[in-house]
Amino acid sequence: MPAATSPRPALDWLKHLLEETVTLIRSSEQQPRVTLLRRFPVPRNFALPGNARIQHGRTWRAPPGAKRVKRFEIYRYDPDSGENPRIDTFEVDVGSCGPMVLDVLIKIKSEIDSTLTFRRSCREGICGSCAMNIDGSNWLACTRTIAGTAEPSTIYPLNHLPIIKDLVPDLTHLYAQYALIEPWLKTRGPVPERERLQSPAEADRLNGKDGKGPAACILCFCCTAGCPSHWWNGQRFLGPAALLQAWRWLADTRDEAAGERLDALEDPFRLYRCHTILNCTRTCPKGLNPGQAIGAIKQKIAQRRS
């Protein structure tokens, strides 16, 4: 933010607006300084089929004597009940809770409503299980602080996926897209006696000098679930997570199948449906840049054409 003592606040604001709209997003660590709209201006439940319309659920009041009460509005859906999805409101005493959103979910499950369903495993941002939509953006529940959420905070499953229950989306299709890029080392020559060596610089292409290269992806699918191109054409467009992984193997100096990998990707939908909207980079909870990886693939294809 501009210093409070700036003589020309209006000019500074304009400069920030320009930076915000003109500069490319490189990582989710760039905090937006100007937000025009909190959500796209259509009514909730707009054009949703009857059985997907979200209804008001029940409210769970905070226990008497709670010290710091915070409200969480959480998406609930149970296909066995035959009922529509609903939003339940939980008043949680965050004074007696760990610091992360995942801690809240675990507290709700063990103390308030044991039917709340969500995925989690590592609770340290490395397994990718707890990806969900928190306050309108996709992130890992275990690396989002409660202090950093809105009041009330809204928690939905990852967008635009079939829902199995509550916060658990069906990732089958996204895994199939990942399998399609054949995420394993392919070589042609004779098998060497010992490991295939890489120089530190070659390894940096995968890990990134700052640890944010394509190999750091945890396949949480925050990016693909947040990609508008994948919403509209997810059956044919591979989406940022799978494409970042495709780049991971194209960038690997030990891999010898770049040509056939590019053949499989060069398609108006699989690859070129990416319009560089960069929602993927904006939302990646590991701070990676799938948008840049997709650009790198397009560059490789351009290279081999001329």
Q: Where on the chain is the footprint of ligand SF4 (CB under 6 A)? A: 217-223, 227, 229, 240-241, 244, 274-280, 284, 286, 288, 290-291, 294
Asked if 122 interacts with ligand FES (CB under 6 A), we say yes
Checking DSSP bridges between strand 69-76 and strand 86-93, what pairing results, if any? antiparallel
- Among the candidate windows 58-66, 114-122, 206-214, 232-240, which touches ligand FES by CB under 6 A? 114-122
Asked if 150 interacts with ligand FES (CB under 6 A), we say no
Q: Which does 264 bind (CB under 5 to 8 A by kind): ligand FES, ligand SF4, other proteins, none?
A: other proteins
Which residue, 13 or 175, has its beta carbon nearer to other proteins? 175
Residue type, 195: E
As separate numbers, helices (DSSP H) first and strands (DSSP E) second, the chain gives: 10, 8
Q: Which does 298 bind (CB under 5 to 8 A by kind): other proteins, ligand FES, ligand SF4, none?
A: other proteins
- Please say whether the beta carbons of 97 and 103 come within 8 A: yes
**Of 16, 86, 107, 120, the one binding ligand FES by CB under 6 A:** 120
Spatial CA neighbour of 241 closest among 212, 259, 258, 218: 218
Asked if 181 interacts with ligand FES (CB under 6 A), we say no
Checking DSSP bridges between strand 55-60 and strand 86-93, what pairing results, if any? parallel
Which residue, 152 or 295, has its beta carbon nearer to other proteins? 295
Which residue, 40 or 50, has its beta carbon nearer to ligand SF4? 40
Quote the CA–CA distance of 295 and 299 in Å, as a whole number.
Answer: 6
- Please say whether the beta carbons of 286 and 218 come within 8 A: yes
Spatial CA neighbour of 122 closest among 224, 226, 220: 220
Residues that bind ligand FES (CB under 6 A): 120-123, 125-130, 140, 142
